[in-house]
Amino acid sequence: MSAEQQIWVLAAAVFAMAGMVKGVTGMGLPTVAMALLGALISPVAAAGMLLLPSLITNLMQLRGSGLWPLLRRLTPLNVGIVVGTLATSGWLATGSHSATTLTLGTALSLYALWSLSGARFTPPVRGEAPLSLLVGLCTGLLTGATGVFVIPAVPWLQALLSSRDSLIQGLGIAFTTSTLALSAGLWWHGALNTGDLPLSLLALVAALAGMAFGEWLRRRISPLLFRRLFLLTLLGLGAQMVWRAL
């Protein structure tokens, strides 16, 4: 098997696994994909491969009632995400591999530790809009630098949105905005390689298959147990990436 064929097989396996995680937990596709692909190819190549499957699977999360009021409520968060992502996307596009790997590994480890600790943001009684803008900006800065859109938007949305359906939609909105902003940032810096479209299509098919299996699995196992195993895996991957970059 040639090196190119090995990349195709490994990419399909990675996105199937990432899609399964998303199917069970409603999130995690870019996080898992970037963490695993980061050991195989450059972060910018991994981010480019991620864009199409991430966009399609995130759009699928927007189904349901109450989308437009939620979209209006999350406008400050989305504005911050776009501004922050565009500000740092040049780092992912042209930065050193070790610096990007270190940042990504640190972000993954911090997110895993935060979630495993059970800590949560306390929703503000007042001033939600400016705080959402700040959270979005911080999320965007990390998205542009690492290709992963998790911290601190996910804990913030978990605090703001009490119902599961609203949270799934809110995550879909934030992740879709992050994906589009990252695509624009990579294109702006000339790092969006349209020649990788066949590989991205393969990744999309694998992610959709994994997501369908994850949704089936979610109805048969404890989501809490799966989430803990997922977070422990992320912590190990993040620590390994930090170690490799130092």
| Per-residue pLDDT tens digits of the chain, which is 246 residues long | 676 777 788 889 999 998 988 887 777 788 788 878 866 777 777 788 888 998 998 888 887 778 899 999 999 999 999 999 999 988 888 766 677 678 778 877 887 888 888 877 677 768 899 999 999 999 999 899 888 888 888 889 988 887 777 888 898 899 999 999 999 999 898 877 665 678 888 999 999 999 899 888 877 877 678 778 778 877 887 887 788 777
Cα–Cα distance, 76 to 5 (Å, whole number) = 43
Helices 97-117 and 75-94: crossing angle in degrees, nearest 10, is: 140
Helices of type H across the chain? 3-25, 29-37, 43-60, 67-73, 75-94, 97-117, 128-146, 153-160, 164-188, 197-218, 223-245
Nearest residue to 175 (alpha-carbon basis) of 203, 201, 148, 209: 148
The answer to whether 100 touches 202, Cβ cutoff 8 Å, is no
pLDDT for 233 equals 75
Token pair, residue 52, equals: 């199409």
45: helix, coil or strand? Answer: helix
List the structure tokens of 58.
């995130």
Question: Helix axis angle, 164-188 relative to 75-94, nearest 10°?
Answer: 40
Residue with tokens 């909105």: 173
All residues at 6 or more sequence positions from 17 whose CB lies less than 8 Å from its CB, including other chains:
32, 36, 210
What CA–CA distance (Å, rounded) separates 153 from 140? 9
In this predicted structure, what is the pLDDT of residue 230? 74
- Which pLDDT value is given to residue 62? 85
> C-alpha angle 220/31/185, rounded to 5°?
140
Read off the DSSP letter of residue 124.
P
